[in-house]
Every structure is written in structure tokens, then in C-alpha cells.
Chain A
Amino acid sequence: MSGSSGTITIKCKDMRVIQFDIPGMEQCLNIAHSIEILSCLDNVCKMYPFFYKPTDSNLPKQWGLSTPETHYSKMKDLHKKWRLSSVNRDYSVCPSYPPAVIVPSSIGDDVLIKAAKFRQGGRFPVLCYYHRKNGMVIVRSSQPLTGANRKRCSEDELLLQAVIEGSDKGYIIDMRSSQQAQQAWMTGGGFESKSCYERWKRLHRHMERGKVLQESLIKLVEACSDESHNMDRWLSKLENSKWLSHVQTALSTAGLLAECVERDGHSALVHGYEGTDCSLLISTLAQLIVDPSCRSLEGFLALLEREWLQGGHPFQQRCAHSAFSHARLQQESPVFLLLLDSVWQLWRQFPLALGFSEVLLLRLATEAYASDYGTFLCNNDQERCAAGVKDRTHCLFQSLLKPTERDYYSNPLYEPTELAIWPSVHPQSLQLWKGFFLRWTEQARLLEEVQEEIRNMVIKWGKLALS
């Protein structure tokens, strides 16, 4: 935001840039000052979702699409070898996990409590995906706290052993380079060594996180706003931002994870450092690749709810500021945006395979940063309960699935298929997500009109077909 005599330019988190010309220097300064303060409020309970009253609905009786309990009870195949544990019911074992998690049946709550002490942030390995076709699973966690003393934790080892019970090996996808994983000892972290975790094979895939991603976003947005009209400069800047490299890494690592489970037929554990960013990114994308039920509109929203909201991705911290911010960056990182971009690449390569359209992805990208709804508030389930989000705000996902809304977000070309969809990660196959990054250009508006036309046509067809 820059206020000069009479003009306030507002740069939004959704990449929009608006300008106000205000007569009178004093008025302008006052308004600018007020906006600055109001846009930096810290207290969650003062945020708009607590005051939002949509005209057409009251506060829902059920907030969210599903709970870990209902999710578990639906998956009957799981019940033999896996159980639902409420060890975290008061969030004391792991503050960023939901109150109920899925763990191997043979592992008791006392084992979990000890294992949690051995993992960063208490995020012990939990199940996030069960592959019906071969009974293999994906589990995720944070890094083990081996530290410089090479500590061991027999409960953690027991837990992981139970995960691959009945199988000859499992894969660990460590989202850090092997060098980074070793250096983690210095700060109290570490990795699962071969000697302690015998039947687990470790694969390292370096993925950038945190500040590096935020820098990348800032550079990309700067390139997109470049009005210089020079083709070479545009391509240079695009390359320097490295955003597309991150998208490529995300998709290729997710592909690797999916391959382990679907093609190689073995369970896999995925973690990075804290287990709240790249781990969730990869586990989400891998599920989209192999599990058709995640690709419908409801299935996708339920997936996001499970992996990101209940999974404890710190939205409040990560989405505090976006590309235009002047503030000193703390924990901001566009991990969720990277997910949506990767999903968009999937949609582009497989236009019939996903039940939702780009419009949904754009909506989610905006809502994560600023919303009327309480869905993306706070950093995890515990904070949401404490602030009363589920009682006093409206749920975005419920709103998106309302009959009047859902047509807008559905993909008219959707044809559900049981097959896995393997994305190409060749650089030539990945494109810049213009719909988001070049959203507010003249051309984008024209194309949006066209897409609106196509959508209306399909909705009309739907109505005519029914009548």
C-alpha cells in the first residue's frame, strides 16, 4: 500500500491491484492509516468470518464435510488392520493433529504417546491413505528427533514396523536432500537410519519450502506484472522465479509416492521437517493420482479437509501475506497455492478426469488468503475449537456444495474413471497457471466471458435434459 497525496493503491493477496483517488490529503492519509491497521489484525476472533451473515443460510448444524470418525467408519476394508485412536482427544499428545487418528490395530495408545515425543511437534506417523486394490497405505509424519546423540525410540520403530506388517518392505520419502537430512542432526532432528528401521528403504527428494517458496512467488508475480513487453525478459524472469520448477518437483515426487503404492505395491511414509507443508502437498497429490474418489467435487473437498485442515497445515501463518507484502516475512509460504497450481496442471493434462473445474481452484486460492468463511482460519483443529470457529462461522466447503453453487464449480466434461492418472512432468508439459497469475488482465476477462458462455450452455443442457 502506498499513499501519496490523493491516491491509495491497494495490492491484494489475490493479485488484484486497485487504486483509489481520494480528494483531500488529510482524508487520504487517515484512510490509508485506517486500512493499514485494519488489514493487520492479529486476533483471530476479530476476523470477518465471525461477523459474516449470509442472507440465505443460518449457521450450519454440521460444520465441515466429515470427521476422522465418520471417514474411518466408512472405510470398512481398513478395520481389520487399522484402528481409530482418540489418544489425542485433548490435543495434548500432538497439538496440530485432529482429536482422532488412524493407526495400526496392534499399536496401543501408550506406544503412540511415546512415539509422539520422538517426532517433531508430536506428529507421529498416522495413516492418510488406504489403497484398496492392494491393501498398501500412505502414512505421514514429521522428522524423527534423533539429534546429534543418535537417539532411538523403540515405540516409533514398533509403530512403523506395524505399518508394513505382512509386507517385505516399505518406502520412506524424505522431502529433504540426504545432505539436509544429515545436517538436521545438528538441530535435534534427523532421519530413520537403516540400522534402526531395517525394512524401510529411504528415498530423498529435495523440495523447497518456507522462505524460498515465498521468494519464488514474489519473483513470479513481479514477472507477470512486467509491462516491458520484451519476450526475452519475460522468459528470463519466469525462469529465474523457479516457480515452475517447484511445481515440477511437487508433481514428480507425488508421482514417485503414487508409484511406490500402486505400481511397486508397497506402503510408504512421507515426511520433511515439520510434516505440515510439503508432506501434505505430496500426500494430497499422490491421492489424486491413484484414488478416483478424490477426484469428484465432494471427494476433492473432503481430501483437502482431511489432509490440510484436520492435518494441521498452519494456514494462519502461511497465508498471512502474499506476493505484494512489504512486511517482514515470518512464516509465510505459498504451499497451498503450490498445491492448487499442481492440481491445475493435472486438470490440464486430464481434462475429463477431475469432477471440478479451474473455477474451484481459483476460488480456493482466494479464500485461503482472505475469506468470509471460517474454514481457513487458524492453524489447526485445536485452535479452531478454542476460537469457536465451528460454532460461530460459516463453512466454505458446505457453501460450495450447495445445489445452487455446485454447478458453477463442476467440470462439464467429467467422466469418472477407475484408472490412476499419471501426470507428465516434462518441463514442456507444465504451463504457467495463467488463470491465477494473469487473472486481472484484459485478455483474461474475455476468456472468462467465453468460459461463462460454455458453463451456461452446459447448465441449460442439464436443465433441458432433466425436463
Chain B
Amino acid sequence: MEFAELIKTPRADGVVLHRPFMPNVEGTLCLTGHHLILSSRQDNTEELWLLHSNIDSIEKRFVGSLGSIIVKCKDLRVIQLDIPGMEECLNIASSIEALSTLDSVSLMYPFFYRPMFEVLEDGWNSFLPQNAFKGLESMTDEWRLSEVNKDFSVCSSYPSLVVVPKDVDDDALRKVATFRHGGRFPVLSYYHSKNGMVMMRAGQPLAGTNGRRCKEDEKLINATLRPGKRGYIIDTRTINVAQQAKARGGGFESEANYPQWRRIHKSIERYNVLQESLIKLVEACNDQSHSMDRWLSKLEASNWLSHVREILTTACLAAQCIDREGASVLVHGTEGTDSTLQVTSLAQIILDPSCRTIKGFQRLVEREWIQAGHPFQQRCAQSAYSNSKPRHEAPVFLLFLDCVWQILRQFPCSFEFNESFLVLLFEHAYASQFGTFLCNCAAERARLFLPEKTVSLWSWMNRPQELEHLTNPLYEANSLVIWPSVAPQSLLLWEGVFLRWNRSSKCLDEAYDEMVHIIEYNKELQNKVNCLRRQLAELETDEPVLRTP
């Protein structure tokens, strides 16, 4: 209906596709409402099946009457389409531009996608907050599940169910919500079963220049303190930024009103600073100039690794407070939807071995990012190649995945998933046929009936044939807290994402497959050995029987 209006030329023949590390293919290009499809002329297979929502920007080039469209994708891939005929090329280019900049969520592909596989376990129901709470209940009775936000009226970005201290009633919560940015009152993020300490997260307190206070807010977070013990507030803004926030109605928890809490300020960058950093980094990676000095300069100038370091350091700090100091922690920045979530989710990777399993990590992403209201739609609207003026875009989730990858690299046997798993999550956050990363918060998802109308990423990913490729063959479950090194020398550029299309990974893939093969064969042989040992043991016990006359 609407799509047909936007498509000026639905198909073109004789189009040549150029992709990194693969031979060029000639075929027929088709434009549908959601995809760019190229089918090869030779064997009629689909060589390219690209979601319009994955397109960051396009460039047109003309050499004589041959037009080329260079498509730059959000997953950092760059492909080229050579289209014979200037008019056709222009039509296709403008169609692609229109289709890739649709604003309305309900026009997005997940609403039209029909899965080709059987949905065995519905991902929409895999990680419901009420089920997660059952696990908490078995460990402690100090918390309760509140439905105060059932209709999303108290906090528009929170889910309908939140976990709060048992002794704080819903009325108190409503009051606290008026004191926190975006209504994001402090809720439970993580319970550390080893010592009963907790991590909570919130938006900034709206203290303002008048130094407003809210007794209910103080009571709420003090409820998590053990008698005589202090807690830590980790503010992801520098003290200057936090003080400037007062002028705009925000602020921080003053010592006077929160005497039992020690405040620590970090400096995690946000918004356009992060987007700039990503753009510069990608530009450095694409630099073909061959100068080592220039590469290292540009890498440094992008500051990307500095951001990774800062976030990891803050997460380590939060984890230290909980595990080593045995104190409770409250984390917040300004809005509580970006750096806050990076810190709380990374701290859980450090502290909680169950977050390092595949299901555990999915649960973590669901709880700390998706349900917690990280505005994916806004943040992942554009990636590094976009030409339009950035509004709310920022690679916050990508930075989180980068930090996880750094820890994965430092502790290769402690994670059930491998690098491919993290790269897959990066891709789907920016463009996907699944509805998991659509919208900005639970309220929007409910309004659009996402669980009924779209398929969950987890439904597809948790099938055995997919999990096989995402599992880490070196995984050995342990119950340790793992402390990553944050020395700059220990942090590496995430080649799997940033140099993915600049260098062929064929040799590395072969090496990985070989490693998997060796480990499997080893297990097989080990089983054989055990079997033979058992047989030997049986024979030995039989012998005395034979000897007796």
C-alpha cells in the first residue's frame, strides 16, 4: 500500500553487486517494501537480502551512463551496486532513500515477518520479570514485586513490574517517582547472593537549585543498607557536570540528606560524544593510506578505547563495592537510561557467573536494557555512516558489547557464548526481522502489541542449530567473580566488528573451526577411554570368579 508509492522502480536487470571479499555478482535487483534483493543471473540464488532499515546512507556515482549506488550499512558493511541506465539508477536511489528513512515503527519489517521456522519456545515469554522474581524470592524476603507502574503512568520508561524494598509501599513509590528524572525511581538491578548486598539504579534526583528533598526517596534507598553500614552512590557524571545539572532542575544526592551514602563520581561520556567517537573510529579503520603513525593517531583521536576503559573501570568499581567492600550500590547518571545501564549490566557480568551463560546473558540484556527502558529506537536509528543530522543516536549498546568482548577475551574459558554471539546482538540492535529491539520502552511495546505481532530474537536464536554456532567451545563453568584488567595495554580494538569488512577473516574462521573440531574429537576420545576403562574394570572383577575352581 504505502510502500508501493515509495518504490519508483521495483526491479532492474543487469545489476552488478560488489561485496567485500566475495567475487562480483551480476543479477536482477528487486526492491520490496522492506528489502533490497539481488538474485544472481547464473543460478537464481539470492545473493543479497538487505533490510532497508540496515542502510545508514547511500552515495550515487556516475561514470558515463553507468550509475553506481554505494550502500553504507549500519553494521559497517559497504556494498556497491552498478546499475545500467542513469534514470533507473536515480529512481532506485531515491526509492532506497525513502524506504530506509521511514519513521513509523509499525511500518518496520518485524511486523511483516513470518518465520520460516517453528517457534518452539516463545522468546517473548522466556524472560518475564515475574519469573525472575521467583528466583530472588527463594534467596531473600527483603524485596517485593510492585505493580504500581502497571499502566506505565508512574514512570513511562519502566516496565509494568518492578522490584522494590518490601517495606516501601506503592504510594511512597509514586512520590519518589516525582523526585527522579523521567520518573525513574530506584529499583533493584542485582542481588549478590554471596553477601546479600544489592545494586540499584535510578535517574538523577531532581534536587534543583533549591536543594529539594524527598523523604520517601531517602527511605527507599536507606532500606537497602545494613545497620551501621554505608552505601555507595556511583554517579556516572563528573562532579562539575552533576552540579551544573542543578541549574536545569536535576542534581545529586547531597551528603546532608543522604548521610549514610558515599558518593563517587566517574566520567562516562554520552550522546553525541559517543556517536562522534564511533564515526571517527570507523573512518580510521577505513583509511587505506598504509601509514602506521596515521592509524595510531586516528585511533587515539577517536577516543573509542578510552570510553571502553572508562565504562569497564566504573563497572569494576561498582562490583568492588558490592563484592569486596560488602556494601550496597546505587548507580545513576542523568536520565538513567544509558551509562547507568552500561555500568549495572557489566558489573553483573563481573560478579555473577550465571550472566556469562547464553540464557543468563539474554536475561541480563532483557532486564537491564530492554525492559529497563534503554531507548533502542532512538539510539540505533543511525550508525557510523549516516549523513543526516544526529538527534538521539549513540552507540551505547555497542560500547557495552565491546566491553563484554574485552572481558571475554581476557577470560576465554569463562563465557558460554563466543564472539559471534555478541556480533549478532550488535547487528540485530540496529536492524532486525525480530521485534526484540524495537521501540524505546515497555509502554511502547505494549501499545503496539509487539509480543503478539512480532517474533522474538530469542525464539530464533535459542534453537539448537543456531546455538551451535554461538557457543564457546572453551567454556568451563565456574562460580568465580572475574576482575578484568583495565590497563590501556590490555584493551584491544574489537576487530570482529570494526575491521570485519576490511580484512578477510577466512584464515581466522578456519582456525576457529579447527579448534572446535579438536575439542570435540578430544571429548569423543575421552569417552572412548572411559568406556574402555569400565570394560577393563569389569574384566578384572570377572577374573577371580574364573580362577576359583
Contacts and interface: CB of A to CB of B under 8 A. Distances in A.
B514 interface: yes
Given A248-B292, A442-B485, A461-B525, A231 B306 contact: yes
A428 B410 contact: no
B305 interface: yes
A238 interface: yes
A428 B411 CA distance: 24
Interface stretch (A202-210, A300-308, A318-326, A344-352): A344-352
Nearest to A234: B488
B499 A351 contact: no
Interface string A420-434: 000011111111101
Given A224-B489, A229-B486, A235-B300, A427 B503 contact: no
A32 interface: no
Closest 9 CB pairs of A and B: A427-B295, A234-B488, A351-B511, A235-B300, A239-B296, A231-B306, A464-B525, A245-B292, A231-B488
Interface of B: 285, 288, 290-297, 299-300, 303, 305-306, 309, 410-413, 474, 485-493, 499, 502-503, 507-508, 510-511, 514-515, 518-519, 521-522, 525-526, 528-529
A461 B521 contact: yes
Contacts of A236: 300
Contacts of A447: 410, 412
A443 B306 contact: no
Contacts of B511: 351-352, 413
15 contacts: A229-B488, A232-B303, A235-B299, A238-B296, A239-B292, A239-B297, A244-B292, A350-B507, A351-B507, A427-B291, A428-B295, A431-B492, A457-B522, A460-B522, A464-B526
B510 A428 contact: no
B292 A427 contact: yes
Contacts of A352: 507, 510-511, 514
A453 B473 CA distance: 13
Contacts of B291: 427
A174 to B, nearest CB: 20
B293 A245 contact: yes
Interface string A447-466: 10010011001101100110
Contacts of A428: 285, 295, 493, 499, 502-503
A447 B295 CA distance: 27
Contacts of B485: 441-443
Contact of B489 (A242, A349, A438): A438
A136 B446 CA distance: 72
B515 A413 contact: yes
A52 B296 CA distance: 45
Contact of B309 (A227, A231, A457): A231
Given A231-B491, A446-B410, A429 B292 contact: no
B300 A427 contact: no
Nearest to B504: A424
A144 interface: no
Contacts of B474: 450, 454
A357 to B, nearest CB: 12
Contacts of B514: 352, 413, 415
A442 B410 CA distance: 11
Nearest to B293: A239
A411 to B, nearest CB: 10
Interface residues of A, number: 49
A39 interface: no
Given A231-B305, A248-B292, A441-B490, 20 more contacts: A224-B489, A229-B488, A231-B300, A231-B491, A238-B296, A239-B296, A239-B297, A244-B292, A349-B507, A351-B510, A413-B511, A426-B288, A426-B290, A427-B292, A429-B499, A429-B503, A443-B490, A446-B411, A461-B525, A465-B525
Nearest to B299: A235
B190 to A, nearest CB: 25
B375 to A, nearest CB: 28
A352 B513 CA distance: 11
Contacts of B489: 224, 234, 432, 434, 438, 441
B292 A430 contact: yes
Nearest to B521: A461
A453 B519 CA distance: 11
B305 A235 contact: yes
Interface in A67-103: none
A58 interface: no
Contacts of A441: 485, 487, 489-490
A179 interface: no
A412 B521 CA distance: 13
A230 interface: yes
Nearest to A233: B488
Contacts of B528: 464
Nearest to B291: A427
A351 B508 contact: yes
Given A427-B295, A428-B499, A458-B518, A450 B412 contact: yes
Nearest to B310: A231
Given A428-B295, A428-B499, A446-B410, A229 B487 contact: yes
The CB with the most chain A CB atoms within 10 A, among B412, B488, B503, B525, is that of B488
B529 A464 contact: yes
B320 to A, nearest CB: 16
A438 B306 CA distance: 19
Nearest to A224: B489
B225 to A, nearest CB: 31
Interface in A349-387: 349-353
Contacts of A234: 488-489
Interface string A289-319: 0000000000000000000000000000000
A230 B306 CA distance: 8
Contacts of B413: 450, 453
Contacts of B529: 464
B293 to A, nearest CB: 6
B495 to A, nearest CB: 8
Contacts of A431: 492
A462 to B, nearest CB: 10
Nearest to A353: B507
B172 to A, nearest CB: 42
Contacts of A426: 288, 290, 502-503
Contacts of B518: 412-413, 457-458, 461
A235 B290 contact: no
Contacts of B491: 231
A224 B493 CA distance: 17
A244 B502 contact: no
A232 to B, nearest CB: 6
B384 to A, nearest CB: 15
